[in-house]
Amino acid sequence: MILKILKQVLRKNKVINQIENELLTDDFNAKVFEIKEYNSKVMFDTYYIPKAIELILKEENYLTTEQGAIPRAKALLEEDMKNGVIDEFYRLVEKVN
């Protein structure tokens, strides 16, 4: 209760309020970065690697390892980002015609 009242009084001070806002912004940006990193890893490992392996097998007639498919998977990911298939949080976007 006292802490809550103290925070309200301190927030009236412009400098302290600005410092708190900067800290909250930094914390928010760090969380957004963590979400993007997690989502990109999940999408890459579960969607783009298998898709690249499938395309290599279909187009070039040989089976490759996950390590061998990484360059192709990266290219597929970059192409999808460029074409708007996935958003900045690495989520698939539905195209509405």
Domain ranges in the chain? 2-82
According to the model, what pLDDT value does residue 6 have? 81
Residue 2: helix, strand or coil by DSSP? helix
Please give the model's pTM, rounded to 2 decimal places.
Answer: 0.70
According to the model, what pLDDT value does residue 50 have? 95
CB contact burial 37-64 (16+ within 10 A = b; e otherwise): eebbeebbeebbbebbbeebeeeeeeee
Structure tokens at 12: 């009236």
| Host H or E run for residue 21 | helix 14-43
The pLDDT averaged over each successive group of 10 residues in the chain (97 residues) is 82 85 94 93 93 92 89 93 86 65
C-beta of residue 52 within 8 angstroms of C-beta of residue 72: yes
